[in-house]
Structures are given as structure tokens and as C-alpha cells.
Amino acid sequence: MGVYLGTARRWAWLSFGCSVRAGQPMQSTSQQLYAYWDRVRNGRAAPRRVEIDPAKISALLPETFIAERAGARSYRFRLAGTRICEHFGHELQGTDLVDLWRDADRRAVVSLIDTVLTDAAVGYGRSFAYGQDNRQACFEFLFFPLIHIGEAPNRLLGTFTAIEPPFWLGTEPLLHLELIELKLHRPGEGPLLKQAGAEVISLVSRRLSDGTQNRRKARKKSSRTDSQTLN
């Protein structure tokens, strides 16, 4: 695995060619869906579900989904775009959105979604995605609040888009996601991705550092065991 963590304008390369670049702009699907959602809400906390017109975002639908709360820590897909389903190799409707992430990341994802709905904010994140051969791709996702019934947000509009898709994506199903970055954005408080690249680099660096420390601890433990055996 080759890794370079240089200045904010350089690249952080990880295994199998997956990369996260400092200052990287949002993907086109994310930008367009954000603009549409913001336009439809028209200054309100969130738009109503019935106001979302699929015909107006037809080009975005393959990478778009809608989810609803199904339990204390569960959000079930009501609709999932064809491209998202193809990435995971099966129909996602009726399955749990949160289950796409590894166990260690699910509490953070649930917390982000809960805040998106409670505060009528926008959730943004990036994740590594792993295939059957442990090959790695990078994805960007956004969560937007929707109002289905009542006056408070209770459904989730979202997008899930590959960042610089690798050649193998679509030839084998993705098995799970691993968080790189989470960000909460409140409309009107400035650009969604202000300094986001630096945060991504910091998280990648921290994980690499944690991995190095764990390997050092394992070597020290192995050395002590060998010493005790010899004595």
C-alpha cells in the first residue's frame, strides 16, 4: 500500500488506487440534488415528500434514495436508485440503510441521520467501499430531511455516488462501507465543503497512525512471549 500525505493540495493514495484529494468538490449528482432540494424547500426547514418531482431530477434517480425510520437505530430504504443497487449486487428496497456500513461505523451514521432529521440539517460523508476481493472504491453520500406527514422531518432523501469509479466497480458487489468523513451542514452557514479536504486527510492519517501503533503493540507482545518462552 502506497500512502502520501503531503500538503493540502496533494493526494492521499490508499490501496487499490482509491484516492481522496484535498479540496475535492462534490460530485455532480450531489451538487444537483442539493440545489434541487434547497430550491424546493424555499427557505423552510425541509420540503414535503410530495413536492419532490422525480421528473425534475430524472438524471439523478439512479444514484438517489429515500429512507424512513424503522426503529431506534434503523432506517429502511423505501426507494433505491438502480445504480446504487447494482453497486451492492441486489435490490435494496426494504433493507436497512445503516447496515451498508461496518458495525464500528453504524452508531456514527445513525447519529448523523438523527441530527439531520431533528435539526433539519444536511449530512455529508465519504466512505471506502470494499468488494469481494477486498478491492476498494470511494463514495460520497448526502442526507437531506424530508417531511412525509406532520410538520417535522421524518424521511430521508439521499444520494450515493462513486468518486472517480475504479474500472472494476459494477463487476463485483460491494460488501460493506467504512467511514472516512462525516460532516453536518446547516443551510445558510456557508459552503458545504469548506475545508472538507483537510478533514479527510486528517482522518486517513489518523487511521494509518492507529494501524501502525497496533502493529507495534502486536510486535512488542510477540517479543515478550518469545522471551518468556526462551526463559
Q: Domains in the chain, start-ordered, CATH in brackets?
A: 28-186 (3.30.450.20)
pLDDT digits (tens, 9 = 90+) for 182-201: 999 988 776 665 534 433 33
Q: What is the pLDDT of residue 44?
A: 94
pLDDT digits (tens, 9 = 90+) for 211-228: 545 545 555 555 554 445
Mean pLDDT, residues 99-103 taken together: 96
The neighbour count for residue 144, using CB atoms within 10 Å, is: 28
Q: How far apart are CA 162 and CA 77, in angstroms?
A: 19
Q: How much is the pTM? A: 0.76
Tell which residue, 138, 150, 158, has the closest CA to residue 75. 158
CB 2 within 8 A of CB 13: yes
Termini Cα distance of the chain: 37
